[in-house]
């Protein structure tokens, strides 16, 4: 733990943590491990970070809004599961305020910087969680994912980011963004680590009204069939290197024996636009309505503007969008049926912090082009590294499939990254 704290101190200029546990706050966890046997605890002594919209008992939860802060008596269900398995919570990590953003710059505690090039954004909203793993301050971390927050920062920092099926990991003890869509996400560097953390944390929580029990799905085929978007639908916003790297990722899967087929992904893109252009932004308003109405000045301007926009949506708006979403979902299911998984770039292109600060809303929306539809369409998604631009900025791809297909996606990720089954 001393070494962990030294690694964190070495990057003090990068505001990755909102609260680092002191030696006194760590002591109960270390003492509990001293009284335990490592063979009985699958995560014995493994340090992890917790996004600061997820509760850790006795430590403030801020959601990156100091005036919103409270001290929970109990840890979130998933956090408690990990602690009981021997993992050690190191601190509460920085995030885009109220998990509203994909950039990592929307925090009064400071903008998190990319682990590879500090001029670039870290991605968000789970910014500190992702970068702390990338810089090997912790072995894994928890984030949340509503629109891409567990995948975008994974892509920008060359690590793994799992957005599980909605309801598999309990969201009790998580500050809601869009409660009907929110997922607790996992960041790590190795696929087996992701699998183990999911296994430990993914216990059915009967107290969570959105919880779902795991169901079995078909394993990965020997020569998997993969869906990729039509070439005309591959959006990179002028980044020719990202375009090249995506083509190389497709060819790598082919070389490994996968059968690749182009499909029309227009239903996915239409669904993605519904998340912020439709009424689901009202869930963000409902989540903090009383606080927002009483202390609007406590929020950053960009965050307040987005969330307040949810106050004007009507029930009629919701039902119209819900009907449209169901049409998109049915059409997407038809087009993706028969594939082991589908493949997309995680983001169209990266941005510098200065670029995002100059145009915060539009560039943020660009980052969600390939991510916003996942939770709306009830899909599991797994972001993995897939190369680097010539300037060293990472490129990532996302594998996605039906609910509870995480094991298949993790195996496919290893298939791609290591060329082994």
Residues acting as catalytic residues = 51, 125, 149
Q: Are 67 and 87 in contact (CB under 8 A)?
A: no
- Return d(Cα 181, Cα 188) in angstroms, integer: 22
Spatial separation of the C-alpha atoms in residues 270 and 277, rounded to whole Å: 10
How far is residue 103's CA from residue 356's CA, in Å, rounded to a whole number? 8
Cβ-Cβ contacts under 8 Å for 269 (sequence gap 6 or more): 233, 369, 373
DSSP strands (E only) in 4-112: 17-20, 47-51, 88-93
Cα(418)–Cα(15) distance, integer angstroms:
33
Question: Which residue in 394, 412, 392, 379 sits closest to 345, CA to CA?
Answer: 394
- Return left, alpha or beta for 326; rule: phi > 0 is left, psi -120 to 50 is alpha, else beta: alpha
Q: Please report, to the nearest 10 degrees, the dihedral formed by the alpha carbons of residues 328, 329, 331, 334 taken in order.
A: 170
């Amino acid at each position: 733990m001393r070494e962990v704290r030294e690694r964190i101190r070495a990057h003090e200029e990068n505001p990755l943590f909102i609260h680092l546990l002191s030696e006194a706050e760590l002591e109960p966890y270390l003492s509990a491990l001293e009284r335990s046997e490592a063979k009985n605890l699958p995560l014995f002594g493994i340090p992890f970070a917790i996004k600061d919209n997820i509760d850790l008992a006795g430590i403030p939860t801020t959601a990156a809004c100091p005036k919103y802060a409270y001290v929970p008596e109990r840890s979130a269900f998933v956090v408690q599961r990990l602690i009981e398995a021997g993992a050690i919570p190191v601190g509460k990590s920085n995030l885009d305020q109220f998990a509203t953003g994909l950039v990592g710059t929307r925090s009064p505690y400071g903008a998190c910087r990319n682990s590879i090039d500090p001029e670039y954004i870290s991605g968000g909203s789970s910014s500190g969680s992702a970068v702390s793993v990338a810089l090997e301050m912790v072995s894994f971390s928890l984030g949340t994912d509503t629109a891409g927050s567990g995948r975008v920062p994974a892509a920008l920092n060359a690590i793994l980011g799992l957005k599980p099926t909605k309801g598999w990991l309990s969201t009790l003890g998580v500050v809601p963004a869009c409660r009907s869509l929110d997922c607790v996400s996992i960041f790590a560097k190795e696929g087996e680590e992701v699998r183990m953390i999911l296994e430990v944390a993914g216990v059915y929580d009967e107290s969570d009204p959105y919880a779902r029990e795991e169901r079995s799905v078909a394993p990965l085929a020997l020569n998997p069939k993969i869906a990729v978007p039509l070439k005309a639908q591959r959006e990179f916003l002028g980044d020719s290197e990202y375009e090249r790297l995506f083509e190389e990722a497709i060819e790598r899967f082919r070389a490994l024996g996968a059968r690749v087929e182009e499909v029309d992904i227009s239903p996915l893109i239409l669904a993605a636009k519904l998340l912020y252009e439709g009424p689901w932004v009202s869930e963000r308003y409902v989540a903090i309505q009383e606080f927002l109405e009483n202390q609007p000045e406590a929020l950053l301007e960009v965050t307040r503007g987005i969330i307040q926009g949810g106050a004007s949506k009507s029930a009629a708006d919701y039902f119209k969008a819900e009907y449209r979403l169901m049409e998109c979902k049915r059409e997407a299911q038809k087009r993706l049926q028969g594939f082991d998984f589908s493949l997309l770039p995680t983001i169209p292109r990266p941005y510098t912090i200065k670029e995002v600060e100059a145009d915060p809303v539009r560039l943020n929306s660009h980052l969600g082009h390939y991510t916003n539809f996942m939770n709306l369409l009830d899909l599991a998604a797994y972001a993995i590294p897939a190369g680097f631009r010539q300037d060293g900025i990472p490129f990532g791809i996302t594998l996605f499939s039906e609910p509870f297909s995480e094991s298949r996606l993790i195996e496919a990720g290893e298939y791609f990254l290591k060329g082994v089954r």
